[in-house]
Structure 1
Amino acid sequence: MDKELLETSLGLVDEAEDGLTTRFYEILFERYPSVRPMFSTDTAPQAKMLREAIIAVLDHLDDSAWLSNTLGALGAKHASFGVTAPMYDAVAECMIAAMEEIGGAQWTSAMTSAWLEALGAVASLMMAGATEESVAV
């Protein structure tokens, strides 16, 4: 994974007041209205947590144990909320859409590819955690 490209591209689109993640939720609810009831009316706290999670993942990109443990636990928590495997693809799609929109002409296909890879890895670790949790129950 190209950590430098991920960090550079996030710097390009990481807006004040959690603008990227706020826009992500707007796009998610526009494209996938069926997931809206899974969230509270005020998504500002969720947008803040998502932004912090993205930054934390980038900060720990070289720490596979942290990624596996943290994202596995997060995946188990999300499964308890009813998150299913196809929803991870929708999240990646909408996050990339928000990034491309905010990045505008400066956003590149290499950035899209890097984020698709990163979001796919995050989703895999989260789904593995959800699977482990369901097996343990």
Structure 2
Amino acid sequence: MDRQLLEHSLASVDLPDDGLTVRFYQILFERYPAVEPMFQRDTKIQAEMLRTAIVSVIDNLDDAEWLTTNLGSLGKRHAEMGVTAPMYEAVGECMIAAMAEIGGDAWTRDMTAAWTEALTAVASLMLAGYPGGDSHSGN
């Protein structure tokens, strides 16, 4: 993965007050309204937690053990909440849409490709934490 491109592109779209992740949730709920009831918390709090998680993943890209352990554990919690494998694709799609919207003309195809690769890897590690490690759990 291109860590430098991920860091640079995130810095270019990381708005104050968790604006990127707030916008992500707006897009997610617009495109996939059926998932909104899964979020019982104030989305502002959820957005702050998501931003923290994204930064932590980028900070630990070179630490396979950290990624496997932490994302697997996060995946297990998501499985318990009823998150299914196709939802990870929706999340990736909506996160990149929010980034591209905020980035405007400065957002590039290379940035989209780098984030697609990163979010796919994150989803795979999270799905590996599902009971039995079955990436098709909940389908």
How would you bin the TM-score normalised by the shorter chain? over 0.9
Distance 2:56 2:129 in 1: 18
The separation in 1 between residues aligned to 2:104 and 2:132, in whole angstroms, is 39
Task: Tell me, in whole angstroms, the C-alpha distance in 2 between the residues paired with 1:75 and 1:132.
Answer: 12
Question: TM-score, normalised to structure 1's length?
Answer: 0.95
- Higher helix content, 1 or 2: 1
Q: How does 1:25-64 map to 2 (within 5 A)?
A: 25-40=25-40, 42-64=42-64
Does the alignment pair 1:117 with 2:117? yes
Contact 1:6/1:111, CA 8 A, preserved across alignment: yes
Once the two structures are superposed, residues 39-68 of structure 1 have per-residue CA deviations (whole angstroms, 9 ceiling, x without a partner) of 026201100000000000000000000000
Matches within 5 A, 1:47-86: 47-86=47-86
In 1, the alpha carbon distance for the partners of 2:110 and 2:41 equals: 35
Query: Do the aligned partners of 1:76 and 1:133 also contact (CA within 8 Å) in 2?
Result: no
How many aligned positions are there?
134
Which residue of structure 2 lines up, in the alignment, with residue 15 of structure 1? 15
Contiguous gaps of at least 5 residues in structure 1 = none
Q: What is the rounded CA distance, in whole Å, between the counterparts of 1:41 and 1:31 in structure 2?
A: 19
Give the partner amino acid of 1:65: E
Deviation at 1:132, TM superposition (A): 3.7
Cα distance in 2 for partners of 1:130, 1:71 equals 10
Please provide the CA RMSD for this pair. Answer: 1.1
- Aligned position for 1:91: 91
**Residue-by-residue CA offset, 1:8-51 (whole Å, 9 max, x unaligned):** 00000000000000000000000000000000262011000000
SS at match of 1:83: coil
Q: Which runs of 5+ in 2 are unaligned?
A: 135-139
How high is the sequence identity, in percent, across the aligned residues? 64
State the distance in 1 between where 2:81 and 2:131 align: 14
